[in-house]
Amino acid sequence: MEFEDIQKSWQAQSVQVKADNKTLNAQTSKWEKNQQRLLRSNICMSLGFVAAMIGIGWVYFSYHEEFGMPFKISIAFIYILMIVFSVVSWRSYSFNKNKMHDSSQQYIEQLIGKLKWQKAVITKYTFVYVVILWMALMLYIWEITKTGSPTFKFFAYGITTLYIVGITAWTHFRKKKKQLVEIESIIADLEAMKSSFQ
């Protein structure tokens, strides 16, 4: 009788393992898709920042003698901001390519940490980046439009502000909400997986 009970228990356990493997594969696929999307996004952002730095550098070296300290400070802030935001954004990406099948709770906790950081970039740090960028651009415009008419200054400030607000709002409603839902879903899956290892 005891042997039959053990056999039934073992058979039931093997079915459970198959279900767990299926769930694990789905979670791994979600995580990998998230990381592929993040990698593409970070590469494009980094290349865009490099192009912007080259363009801004050309502007600086061409006109730095014509303008005062606000011009130089605004450009320095924009450079620092792009470098810091690149580092912040790349911190969300996991360069560690361990497989979840061989993972410990510590590894899963690390993945959850990466996702939480990615969420923080989307919800907090991007907003901080945009506000500081706007301030640096306002300082830049203030310096280069010193001799311009009030109407020209008004349009320069207004168009730049509308552009930044418009792009920020568009990315928030078109992309970031979807990304946050995806991140929350993966975090929930990983938390469940971590609990199952206990």
Residue 13 has pLDDT above 50, yes or no: no
More confident residue, 75 or 8: 75
Whether the Cβ atoms of residue 159 and residue 4 lie closer than 8 Å to each other: no
| Token pair 């950081």: residue | 117
Residue 56 has pLDDT above 60, yes or no: yes
* Confidence (pLDDT) at 196: 67
Q: What angle do CA 58, 59, 65 make, to 5 degrees?
A: 110
**Domain with 150 in it:** 2-196
- The confidence band for 171, taking pLDDT boundaries of 50, 70 and 90, is confident
More confident residue, 13 or 71: 71
Whether the Cβ atoms of residue 144 and residue 71 lie closer than 8 Å to each other: yes
Spatial distance between the Cα atoms of 70 and 117, rounded to a whole number of angstroms: 33
Beta-carbon neighbour count of residue 51 at 10 Å? 10
Domain count, the chain: 1
Residue 99 has pLDDT above 70, yes or no: no
- The confidence band for 15, taking pLDDT boundaries of 50, 70 and 90, is very low
Residue 40 has pLDDT above 90, yes or no: yes
Q: Would you give the DSSP letter of residue 93?
A: S
Amino acid identity, position 3? F
* Confidence (pLDDT) at 4: 59
For 56, the 3-state DSSP assignment is helix
Nearest to 98 by CA among 89, 90, 84, 108: 108
What percent of the chain has pLDDT above 90? Answer: 41
End-to-end Cα, the chain, rounded Å: 31
Nearest to 45 by CA among 97, 102, 86, 91: 86
Global confidence as pTM: 0.74
